[in-house]
Amino acid sequence: MKKEFVSMTENITEDIRQRLFELRDEKYRAFQEKLKPSASPVIGVRSAELRKTAKELAKGCWRDYVSALNSSSYYEERTAAGMSIYYAKTDIGERMEYTDIFLPFIDGWAVCDGVCATIRLKKDERDRFWEYVVKKALSGEEFVSRFGLVAILHDFVDEEHINGIFDIIERINYAGFYDSVGAAWLLAECMTKLPERTFEYMRVSRLNDMVYNKAIQKMRESYRVSPEIKNELKRMTRA
């Protein structure tokens, strides 16, 4: 019988690692390694099983597990730790506190994006979390910035925040590929939800060519953007 991680144990890291290796799928591991989800080693645990582990962890000793992350942690360990912060029953202040502990261990797009997809906010948490993710987006650190951008993508693409989103994307001091693509992805999501506002922004944007062209690429790949807008965007692509 598999252990339930609902109370403090002396060997929580070893216990979770054992559980993850029990769930290992070699074919899936080979597939994941081709996708390069993280700079860390991959065990090969399917997403549904990884989420189940994170939810179970969140019932008890998630704080100890997040605090025990280290440079040798596997991709799945990092992701389960981050997810557990947002599955746990706690307040937004503690979530942000432990997110700060977790963020240095994001070392790949899949770690970041899997955790961001787990975030669910209560109405009275939104303003405080918006301020938090804006600071992360503007951090100038590649994966910390991506975390902020992808969290915004999931929770704040609306009329209230759209001008702020455009301002943030313009102000970022982009550190690498993954924060740049995160900004492009966010803009593509803005185009699907607020096409007129986003199209007008793209016409006057001062973004660097990489983010601008990648955003247009993602917009044109989306089935939620109209053919008419896609044709206009094609003509707007920079050389």
- Nearest Cα residue to 108 out of 52, 35, 160, 58: 35
pLDDT tens sequence across 197-232: 999 999 999 999 999 999 999 999 999 999 999 999
Nearest partner of 98 among 131, 69, 66, 54, judged by Cα = 66
DSSP state of 4: P
Among left, alpha and beta (phi > 0; psi -120 to 50; other), residue 44 is: left
Q: Would you list the DSSP string of 32-94?
A: HHHH---SS------HHHHHHHHHHHTTTTHHHHHHT--TT--HHHHHHHHHHHHHSS--HHH
pLDDT tens, residue by residue, 145-193: 999 999 999 999 999 999 999 999 999 999 999 999 999 999 999 999 9
The model's pLDDT over 84-106, given as tens digits with 9 standing for 90+, comes to 999 999 999 999 999 999 999 99
Dihedral, CA of residue 77, residue 80, residue 82 and residue 83, to nearest 10: 170
pLDDT score of 7 more than 80: no
Q: Among candidates 109, 121, 191, 118, which has minimal Cα distance to 145?
A: 109
